[in-house]
Amino acid sequence: MEKPRPGLTEIFDRQALRGLMSLPTPVQRLLAGKPVVIDGQTLSADTQLMLKARALTKGTPIEEQPIPKARKELRYQQLLAGAGLPIGSVDEIEVGGRKARLYVPADAPEVGPLLVFFHGGGWIYGDLDSHDPACRFLAEQAGVRVLSVDYRLAPEHPFPAAYEDCVAAYEWVTQHAAELGADPERLAVGGDSAGGTLAATVALTAAERGWPLAFQLLIYPGTDMRGQTRSRELFGDHFILTHGFMDLAKESYLSDQSLLEDPMASPLLAEIPAGLAPAYVATAGFDPLRDEGEAYAQRLADAGVQVEVTRFRDQIHGFLHFVAVGRSSLAANREIAARLKAGLA
């Protein structure tokens, strides 16, 4: 797969970001200012400095831009933090009627584990390109194939379109594992944010339908569309994922308020079926979705599901995109990749 060469503006922005995020921690702390401490947690110096730099640009918030423009802008921002990571191979394929991208790590065996990945973006943003760096990183760091699936977006295609696309894609994978070089006994689903929600609901459906699934990788997932948690109150401003963004996502994705409690939109409200795959849930300390992600982990544990949850206390929503810059987010992402590797060992 060939990518277009970056323009001068992109090169400058990327180098500026990497330079800022690679400064010594004491220098970052000095430039960032007084540490941000909320709920007994201290925001990492590199993240605080990045947020300060973003604030100085005074750009129009994503949720206030026309959706087509915002999709391009968000993709650009996400690619800055990790574009160009090496990978064994990348192939464009079709899975269950949807476009997909298969990442194979350099030292992959002929047959090995596979993660089916669903991107985040509030069900209205994101695509194969926006999460290309994250998928490359997970594949190489965990030593597993990663299949990133493109699904229909709202508001053009509201709920349950994204859920149905992801279920169809996973069903296809279970039937064509050999074509992907995947061991059918070592299949996983995963995703970040809205993609984590989709991964959780696909896992629930897989258990109900008796499909093989070995592991769930849920990275700061949204699990309760009602949005009544303390973390939403604490962190709904100033930390990337804002109240405005979340309101737009909800209004665009759900066509009716009654759908707030649909278990395939709010998996925290779902019945937990027998045989649900083990899960690893990663949350961020300064994330509005923190509490509902951890509540879902507890719900799984109470139902007897094997689950591990890690709160990265100094991180914000979206840290998965920082796979090639900085220190704190990169360390968190390496731990997530290690858990993926262990979950599919």
The stretch 247-273 carries a mean pLDDT of 96
Query: For residue 156, how many other CB atoms are within 10 A of its CB?
Result: 10
Q: Is residue 265 in some structural domain?
A: yes
Please, which pLDDT band fits residue 83 given cuts at 50, 70 and 90? Answer: low
Determine the pLDDT at residue 22. Answer: 83
The CATH number of whichever domain residue 118 belongs to comes to 3.40.50.1820
Q: Is residue 101 in some structural domain?
A: yes
Determine the pLDDT at residue 77. Answer: 82
Please, which pLDDT band fits residue 69 given cuts at 50, 70 and 90? Answer: very high
Please, which pLDDT band fits residue 9 given cuts at 50, 70 and 90? Answer: low
Task: Considering only residues 16 and 148, tell me which one the structure prediction assigns the higher pLDDT.
Answer: 148
Determine the pLDDT at residue 288. Answer: 98
Distance CA 187, CA 214 (A): 5
**Domain with 144 in it:** 66-343
Taken as a whole, the chain contains a residue count of 345
Q: Strands 98-104, 89-95: parallel, antiparallel or unpaired by DSSP?
A: antiparallel
Please report which helix (H) or strand (E) contains residue 92, including its range.
strand 89-95
Determine the pLDDT at residue 2. Answer: 41
Hey, what are 5's tokens? 């060469």
How high does pLDDT run on average in the chain?
A: 93
Please, which pLDDT band fits residue 89 given cuts at 50, 70 and 90? Answer: very high
Q: Is residue 35 in some structural domain?
A: no
Does the pLDDT of residue 187 top 70, yes or no?
yes
User: Could you give phi then psi for residue 280, rounded to 5 degrees?
Assistant: -120, 125
DSSP character for 276?
P
Hey, what are 36's tokens? 């941000």
Query: For residue 24, how many other CB atoms are within 10 A of its CB?
Result: 10
Distance CA 132, CA 256 (A): 32
pLDDT digits (tens, 9 = 90+) for 280-312: 999 999 999 999 999 999 999 999 999 999 999
Provide the domain count of the chain. 1
Q: Which of 44, 148, 193, 329 is catalytic?
A: 193
Q: Is residue 222 in some structural domain?
A: yes
Please, which pLDDT band fits residue 19 given cuts at 50, 70 and 90? Answer: confident
Q: Is residue 275 in some structural domain?
A: yes
Q: Which of 150, 165, 192, 287 is catalytic?
A: 287
Of 53-67, 213-227, 233-247, the least confident: 53-67
Please, which pLDDT band fits residue 82 given cuts at 50, 70 and 90? Answer: low
The stretch 142-149 carries a mean pLDDT of 98
Type of residue numbered 207: A
Please report which helix (H) or strand (E) contains residue 22, including its range.
none
Determine the pLDDT at residue 3. Answer: 45
Q: Which of 317, 321, 328, 329 is catalytic?
A: 317
Please report which helix (H) or strand (E) contains residue 227, including its range.
none
Is residue 285 within 8 Å of residue 39, measured between CB atoms?
Answer: yes
Does the pLDDT of residue 155 top 80, yes or no?
yes
Q: Is residue 207 in some structural domain?
A: yes
Q: Is residue 57 in some structural domain?
A: no
First to last CA, the chain: 29
Hey, what are 138's tokens? 């997970």
Annotated active-site residue 193? The verdict is: yes
